[in-house]
Copies of this chain bind each other. A is one copy, B any other.
Amino acid sequence: MALGRRDSLALLTDLYQFTMAYGYWRAGRQREPAEFELFFRRCPFQGGFALSAGLGECLAFLRGFRLREPEIEYLQSVLPSTMEKAFFDYLRTVDASEITVSSAPEGSIVFATVPLLQVKGPLLVVQLLETTLLSLVNYASLVATNAARFRMLAGPDKKLLELGLRRAQGPDGGLSASKYSYIGGFDWTSNVLAGNLYGIPVRGTVAHSYVMSFTSLAEVQPKVRVPAGDEPVDFLPLAETWLRQVCQTLQVPYDRVNHGELAAFISYAIAFPHNFYGLVDTYSIMGSGVPNFCAVALALNQLGYHAVGIRVDSGDLGKQAREIRQVLRTCSANFQVPWFATIPIAVSNDVSERSLEELMQEGNEIDIIGIGTNLVTCPLQPSLGCVYKVTSSLKLTEDEEKMTIPVSKANVCLRFLAGLAFMDLMALEEEPPPRAGQEVAVLLLGRSEVARRVTPTAVEILHRTYFKDGQVCQALPSLLEIKSHAQASLSMLSPAHKRLQDPEPYQVAVTEKLHFLLSDLSRSSQ
């Protein structure tokens, strides 16, 4: 837990940033103007889009960026002792006051090659920012995109609960997962600290350990009563009476029902009469958990309280939810309790994209889905793989995969719409900006050397300047606003691009002028 000791993230970077900074400084190039772009080369999860996220944290990092004395001393201790002292004096003066950052608003849909961030400023500083910016954007965007995919699969009505804290990369991995899953479309988190820090709605029910900690009805303190109006009622005998009726109705042997489980449910109901939740799969779901739940919920109902949910955490979730719903309907009809039929059913059990897809296809009676491991660890692609590349030059390696699309300095990123978004265009700043209704010649990246003509009905300037002169220069949205923007941004994308498998690739293009510039650069570097 190094966290509390960190006032600054200036050292949260790769060592080579400092050796390279020294190289620039030694060559007198530290203040040379530079521009870097942060982008990914392929959309994650073999999908057709990503959600950009992490901008707010990048801006906070930039605002506080400077090297403090103990950090300088540490650097001196690990860098070659032959380095000139004056370099470290220079590092003492470095901050982000000459840095300019532009970006699409956080939560926007973004595509391969189009920059998520453009960072301009003195070469040495822009270089030093690389790793931290990547660290703040990569996972944030990845998990937000993953969450958006789960949301698309689940449809708009299911409630999605993030519960990945224990499976994330330590405390801060868990916090990032909660924050950016919320942006991507989750409703709630189980992570209390994420709720406290970010205002995300928190939810929680009950775990197997609670149920298992009760072994007999003797552990229910009978003196505890449910306050139902003026007349306190002994709840234990009431629940037992209901259990006999439920068992008869459901044709479940009364003596096979687990009494520790019943004790746990009764205790929880006494503690939370307004918020009773039952976890029904500790022993036998249909032979014990569900009858116990129904008995306690019906006993509470008699006192005027409505149970808020029933939870299953193992097995075939779709099948069990249907069976549970059937039981709830039977009790509802039999005991004439209409609301009973619609008690929310919550499920969790290693839910993945694939298992959620199956659940949704087969029809289900599920209302709330808790997702942990497969949300936060993004097993389909555990890293977004963003890169941070200088744009004033060109890299053409023998490895085609790593060829950078070089973009001249001061480029402009636009989004073309015709009802929906259909193309992102990178242009030079000196070009007259394309306008809505006007035809423009573009070259699709990676598809053709021949220009094609498109006519957008609307043109959106994708990037805004978020950081300038050491200050954040846009009003930053709340997390809820970012979440809303993400859903609005996704709604501008055609279902063909949003398909989780084999999506139609979204078009990313450059203007003819930029294309020729790139070709020139490419030739001159050979």
Contacts and interface: CB of A to CB of B under 8 A. Distances in A.
A78 to B, nearest CB: 5
A314 B74 contact: no
A314 B12 contact: no
A401 to B, nearest CB: 8
B131 A75 contact: no
A170 B140 contact: yes
A140 B474 CA distance: 38
A1 B5 contact: no
A196 to B, nearest CB: 5
B398 A209 contact: no
A190 interface: yes
Interface in A170-229: 170-177, 190-193, 195-198, 202-210, 212-213, 215, 219-221, 224
A53 to B, nearest CB: 11
A4 interface: yes
Contacts of A402: 314
A347 to B, nearest CB: 13
Interface stretch (A17-25, A329-337, A443-451): A17-25
Given A82-B274, A166-B138, A382-B382, A74 B195 contact: yes
A501 interface: no
A430 interface: no
Interface in A370-402: 373, 376-379, 382-383, 385-386, 388-390, 392-399, 401-402
B12 A191 contact: yes
A6 B3 contact: yes
Contacts of A349: 399
A209 B139 contact: no
B378 A171 contact: no
A401 B386 CA distance: 37
A129 to B, nearest CB: 12
Q: What band does the interface of chain A fall in when counting residues whose beta carbon is under 8 Å from B?
A: 35 or more
Contacts of A193: 2, 6, 9, 11-13
Contacts of A396: 283
Given A209-B388, A212-B393, A190 B15 contact: yes
A383 B388 contact: no
A386 B373 CA distance: 12
A90 interface: no
Contacts of A508: none
A272 B80 contact: yes
Contact of A383 (B6, B26, B377): B377
Contacts of A197: 2, 5
A32 B19 CA distance: 58
Interface stretch (A244-252, A263-271, A420-428, A511-519): A263-271
A383 B45 CA distance: 18
Nearest to A19: B204
A481 interface: no
Contacts of A4: 3-4, 6-7
A389 B207 CA distance: 10
A314 B174 contact: no
B28 A221 contact: yes
Contacts of A394: 212
A27 interface: yes
A273 interface: yes
A125 to B, nearest CB: 13
17 contacts: A1-B9, A13-B192, A14-B165, A18-B192, A18-B204, A23-B267, A26-B271, A27-B221, A27-B224, A29-B213, A80-B272, A82-B275, A132-B171, A135-B166, A212-B395, A314-B398, A382-B382
Given A78-B192, A169-B169, 16 more contacts: A13-B192, A14-B204, A16-B204, A16-B206, A17-B204, A20-B206, A20-B210, A26-B224, A34-B213, A127-B209, A130-B207, A134-B166, A170-B175, A283-B397, A315-B397, A382-B382
